Chains A and B, each alone.
Chain A
Amino acid sequence: GENVEQHPSTLSVQEGDSAVIKCTYSDSASNYFPWYKQELGKRPQLIIDIRSNVGEKKDQRIAVTLNKTAKHFSLHITETQPEDSAVYFCAASKNRGSNSGYALNFGKGTSLLVTP
Chain B
Amino acid sequence: DAGITQSPRHKVTETGTPVTLRCHQTENHRYMYWYRQDPGHGLRLIHYSYGVKDTDKGEVSDGYSVSRSKTEDFLLTLESATSSQTSVYFCAISVWAGGTDTQYFGPGTRLTVL
Contact = CB atoms under 8 A, between A and B. Distances in A.
Interface of A: 1, 4, 6, 34, 36, 42-46, 49, 89, 95-109
B42 A97 contact: no
29 contacts: A6-B42, A34-B103, A36-B105, A43-B1, A43-B108, A44-B90, A44-B105, A46-B102, A46-B103, A46-B104, A49-B102, A89-B43, A95-B101, A97-B100, A98-B96, A99-B30, A101-B30, A101-B31, A101-B48, A101-B101, A103-B48, A104-B33, A104-B35, A104-B92, A105-B59, A106-B43, A106-B44, A108-B40, A109-B42
A11 to B, nearest CB: 16
Contact of A104 (B30, B40, B103, B108): B103
A98 B99 CA distance: 7
A93 to B, nearest CB: 9
Nearest to A96: B101
Contacts of B102: 34, 46, 49
Given A1-B59, A43-B107, A97 B43 contact: no
Interface residues of B, number: 29
A49 B40 CA distance: 23
Interface in B31-66: 31, 33, 35, 40-45, 48, 50, 58-59
A32 to B, nearest CB: 8
Contacts of A98: 96, 101
A101 B59 contact: no
B45 A103 contact: yes
Nearest to A1: B59
